[in-house]
Amino acid sequence: MRHTDVAREEIAELLGDLFAGFESRDWNRLAQLVGEKVHLDHTSLGAPAAEELTGAELVARWRRGLHERKKNFHLLSHPRIKVDGGHAEVAVNCYACNILDAGLGGGVWECWGRHDIAWHHTEKGWKATSFVFTKAHTRGDDRIHTHTLD
């Protein structure tokens, strides 16, 4: 098997780990999967601008937004993984659903779109270094998606 085929398999596995980490709220695993510096662009979801964050800041943001009183689910399809040496680009379609606890007002938010995730190979393995989400469609209450407990 060629080196790029092995890298593609590793990244496919890590992509699954990343989204499983959101649902299981495995913040330690998520921290292992992201780089020290991370580019985040969620402008298609209403963020004012793309940002440069530390990996720790990004995981803290995920932890705050995917709190224990908000159920979340992600379904990925048709991942396209391109590897060029120690750099990889993943484009994957995604469906996401957030459901807020009834004690916080309840409600559902759904989103369809595409994640473009860049990965770089480091001495500690592959790390995700860029997350760009392009929304195709949302349905429901946007406040559920942005809800935090603070």
Q: What is the pLDDT of residue 4?
A: 86
Residues 6+ apart with CB under 8 A from 145: 45, 65, 98, 109, 111, 138
pLDDT at 84 exceeding the cut of 60: yes
Whether 48 and 62 have beta carbons less than 8 Å apart is answered as no
Structural tokens at position 28: 């330690």
Residues 6+ apart with CB under 8 A from 122: 35
* CA–CA separation, 62 and 51 (whole Å): 14
Q: Is 1 helix (H, G, I), strand (E, B) or coil?
A: coil
The predicted model scores a pTM of 0.94
pLDDT at 1 exceeding the cut of 50: no
Q: What domains can you pick out in the chain, each with its CATH number? A: 3-146 (3.10.450.50)
Mean pLDDT value of segment 29-53: 97
pLDDT at 98 exceeding the cut of 90: yes
Mean pLDDT value of segment 32-37: 98
* CA–CA separation, 97 and 120 (whole Å): 28
Q: What is the pLDDT of residue 2?
A: 59
Question: Tens digit of pLDDT for each residue in 120-132?
Answer: 999 999 999 999 9
